[in-house]
Amino acid sequence: MSLVISDDIIRASGLSEADLLLEIIILLFQQEKLSLGKASEILGMPQIRFQRLIADRGICVHYDVADFQADLQHLTSNKWC
């Protein structure tokens, strides 16, 4: 599926197409609609670059208790801790 944004909206935003896409992706990431991996994939940038970008804006990476427990279980099952 493709989304077409009219030139009028792009002009009204005062952003380039690339900057508008970036803002949309960041908004979706903040709302937890996109994962870090998917957001960086859509933008065509390495995850670490996207992490720096959101960190510069004061946006935290989503990492909750369930994520921590899953990571801990993975580390334990592989005898890494």
Secondary structure (3-state) at 16: coil
Mean per-residue pLDDT, 17-24: 95
Residue 81 has pLDDT above 80, yes or no: no
Give the pLDDT confidence score for residue 70 in this predicted structure. Answer: 78
Domain locations along the chain? 7-77
Cα 21 to Cα 3, 24, 38, 53, 79, distances in angstroms? 11, 5, 14, 14, 42
pTM, to two decimals: 0.74
Chain segment 27-61, per-residue pLDDT in tens: 999 999 998 889 999 999 999 999 999 999 999 88
Chain segment 8-19, per-residue pLDDT in tens: 999 999 999 999
